[in-house]
Amino acid sequence: LYAVHSGLVHPNYENGGDIVFLETTDPRKSQPRNIFFLETSGRGNLTGRMSCAVESAALHHPEWTVSLLTAVNSEKPGGRSPFFDLLRGIPNVDIRSIKPSEVLEGTPLSSWNFSGALRSSPYRAVHLADVLRLAVVYKYGGVYLDLDIVVLRSLEDLHNCVSQTPTQEQDMTANGFLIFDRHHPFLEDCMHRVPPRYKPQQWASIGPTLLKEAILSRCKAKSIREVVLNGSCPGVRVLPFNLFLPLYYKEWKDFFDPSKSAQVWRASKDSYVMHVYNGLSSKTPAPPGSAYAQAARKYCPHSWNYSTTTLGFF
């Protein structure tokens, strides 16, 4: 499927360089064949699970460009995690350090003082990622994915869509999965909504909450469930939750329980990804036989092997 070449530094890796490689498109399709991941903690750290997300995306999309964009503090210009070197050896993976202000250039947020707005937020990394994912997909087109997933199959058949969240407690959309054409008007609308809607003390104010507001406005609907069931909305689809989030967040431990693996795989039979809710699960090991371990061994074997044999944890 692909080879990891030891010591190979991808020629497109530059700290702070122009993101020229993101313009790559397939002449047969209007949607650019890009997949983006963002690491916005500012620490330049990359875990085995984050590496797994990128590796699994590259495995299922060998002809696409899979980009890991890191917003790193100036005093720490490069990531020291061994997983950066692992990912640089995958031919279709690009790793870039980015300046958020440059990413926002050419978008409706270019004049927004985002750094000042984020200063008072206790969720700065989250809110920065909320903004950058909209800007990156708007500018270049393609797919945005969160880093706490394993890609289970190709995303090639998806176009201009977001995902519903599990319906147990709320009617909401997720912003961990965005798939759109370059300069799509829905993303433009979302970015126009960011400055007036931003509430620094609210975790989801410019994430899922804003996305839901924009969807309901565009689709002239009263609920996300209505949009999913009707399936008709100008230029945007809201996919049912079983395609990206088949397990509710309160069920996250099932991913790590070998006795629940068959149950998890049944629930995930139609899903494009396995999303393991890193905010809840990051310190929980994935034992052999658990669904998460099985997915990682199959779809990100290099990240899995290095994590388990060298670090002793996945």
In a domain, 178, yes or no: yes
- Which tens digits make up the pLDDT trace of 205-226? 999 999 999 999 999 999 999 9
Tokens describing residue 58: 């590259």
In a domain, 163, yes or no: yes
Q: What is the rounded CA–CA span in Å between residue 114 and residue 117? A: 5
In a domain, 20, yes or no: yes
Q: Is the pLDDT of residue 156 over 50?
A: yes
Q: How far is CA 171 from CA 37, 166, 261, in A?
A: 26, 8, 27
Q: What's the average model confidence in pLDDT over 99-117?
A: 93
Contact 274, 291 (CB under 8 A): yes
CATH code of the domain covering residue 209: 3.90.550.20
pLDDT confidence of 71, banded at 50, 70, 90? confident
- Which tens digits make up the pLDDT trace of 77-95? 445 789 999 999 999 999 9
Read out DSSP for 244-312?
A: T--S-GGGGGGGG-GGGHHHHHHHTTT-SEEE--HHHHTTS---TTSHHHHHHHHH-HHHHHHIIIIIS
In a domain, 48, yes or no: yes
In a domain, 110, yes or no: yes
Tokens describing residue 50: 């984050």
Task: Please state the domain count of the chain.
Answer: 1
Q: Which of 50, 58, 38 is nearest to 98 (CA)?
A: 38
Q: What is the rounded CA–CA span in Å between residue 65 and residue 58? A: 8
In a domain, 278, yes or no: no
3-state secondary structure of 103: helix
Residue with tokens 């997909």: 137
DSSP classification of residue 70? E
Q: Which residue range forms the structural domain that includes residue 124?
A: 14-242
Q: Is the pLDDT of residue 44 over 80?
A: no
3-state secondary structure of 226: helix
Tokens describing residue 95: 């790793």
Task: State the burial class of residue 236 (Cβ atoms within 10 Å of its Cβ: 0-12, 13-18, 19+).
Answer: buried
Q: What is the rounded CA–CA span in Å between residue 71 and residue 135? A: 14
In a domain, 310, yes or no: no
Global pTM?
0.89
Higher pLDDT, 231 or 32: 231
In a domain, 85, yes or no: yes
